[in-house]
Amino acid sequence: MEQFRLPKIPMPKLELPQAIQEVLKEAEEKLAHRPKLLQLFKNCFPNTLETTTKLLDDGTTFVITGDIPASWLRDSVEQVIQYVPFAKEDKDLQRIIGGLIKRHIAYIHIDPYANAFNESANDWHWNTTDITDMSPWVWERKFELDSLCFSMRLAYAYWKETELTDIFDAGFKSAMRKIVELFKTEQCHFEQSPYRFTRDNGIPTDSLRNSGLGMPVNYTGMVWSGFRSSDDACDFHYNIPANMFAVVALRHMEEFAEWVFRDMEFLKELKDLEADIDHGIQLYGIYRHPEFGPIYAYETDGFGNYCLMDDAGTPGLMSIPYLGYVNADDPIYQNTRRFALSKENPFYYEGTAAKGIGSPHTPPGYIWHMALSMQGLTATTAEEKLEMIAMLEATDADTGFMHEGFHADDPNTFTRTWFAWSNSLFSQLVYRAMKDGLL
């Protein structure tokens, strides 16, 4: 399971912003009757700030994923998104989150196809055998459509919460333009795209077939993606959850164009692109399942082939309402959810300790804590939310933290002791349940 890692880089421990300290005090009071859950929350909620966050002299923020000394666009957003609701009156949080947005914008200008970046142009890479157009800034250059969407998700959430507009400079608008140009290019991947990726490490899911181009696709209006949110290669390169996320990201960008930049021509371009992608999802992304009825496929190629599964990573089918594409009570989503939480999903596992969704990224029989947290966040009943919290509480292997995957029969067998994204997602679930009076 272990892959090559650069030496662990010590991150300076930040003093927790006052708003975060207040949340921890609130938990001390409201979770006092659940001492183990309280300790888990006290460990996990500040984990990103305490162990993975570095304020840089240029006013930006660098957030490593945990046990890897690089910043994933996707992970870093989900590591800090739980702090956004507390940023309106806290200048320290504004510095941290606003600084991360500014660093994302800089990274998008360096390479909009890359998924993970270095703190500096130090030429560190996940794998030195990658055949692609690398940069010394880039840790890994797997094109994952969701990465760019996460950058817009954080900017939108931060703007709506704080009403601050200092992040929206000329560089931000230029990054939006780069995103749009990439989306349009990858709508016609084989005809227009310069992107190729292969890796000579003997792991099939780390490379794109067909000399780095990927498997053939038909035009659908959707955006091609090389890799999934698990960093594994797509089977069919129209990933439906990622395209749903692209629709949501474009809706955010439309608001930026209309209300911040006052650019009505750009607004129309964004709306047209959103409509193209959404039409493709509705026309090509729905599969008529004989047991569950219409469900969203995980992937398709536009030729009538489908990948029917769900993965623990976000975006996945379970996370569709979390991302904001449809509400949790949407009928097709509910059908899809029932499929994802059944044995029809090849990565759904049931064991003596837990049941839930895993990933082809980890061994068979491994459930991901992130999947349990997402199941709780998207549940429509208090009973299911509480069931997920209890399962998460019972499967930490007494480490006090969440992990990546753990064996369904033995939570003491797990991957990644330090995985900040998982800690943050768990904290979101617990805090929302706490505020809703469920705990």
Sequence-distant (6+) residues with CB within 8 A of 251 are: 274
As a whole number of angstroms, the distance between CA 30 and CA 54 comes to 31
Residues 28/38, Cβ–Cβ less than 8 Å: yes
Instruction: Round the average pLDDT of the chain to a whole number and report it.
Output: 96
pLDDT-based confidence at residue 9 (cuts at 50, 70, 90)? low
Can you list the domains of the chain with their CATH numbers?
Answer: 97-111+145-342 (1.50.10.10)
As a whole number of angstroms, the distance between CA 297 and CA 19 comes to 40
pLDDT for 12 equals 74
Which tens digits make up the pLDDT trace of 18-32? Answer: 999 999 999 999 999
pLDDT for 40 equals 98
Residue 6 has pLDDT above 60, yes or no: no
User: pLDDT above 90 covers what percent of the chain?
Assistant: 95
Which tens digits make up the pLDDT trace of 173-206? Answer: 999 999 999 999 999 999 999 999 999 988 999 9
pLDDT-based confidence at residue 67 (cuts at 50, 70, 90)? confident
Closest Cα partner for 73 from 179, 159, 177? 179
Residue 2 has pLDDT above 70, yes or no: no
Residue 4 has pLDDT above 80, yes or no: no
pLDDT for 239 equals 98
Closest Cα partner for 429 from 22, 65, 44? 44
Distances (CA, A) of 16 to 42, 121, 158: 12, 29, 19
User: pLDDT above 70 covers what percent of the chain?
Assistant: 98
pLDDT-based confidence at residue 10 (cuts at 50, 70, 90)? low
Which tens digits make up the pLDDT trace of 345-390? Answer: 999 999 999 999 999 999 999 999 999 999 999 999 999 999 999 9
Residues 183/273, Cβ–Cβ less than 8 Å: yes
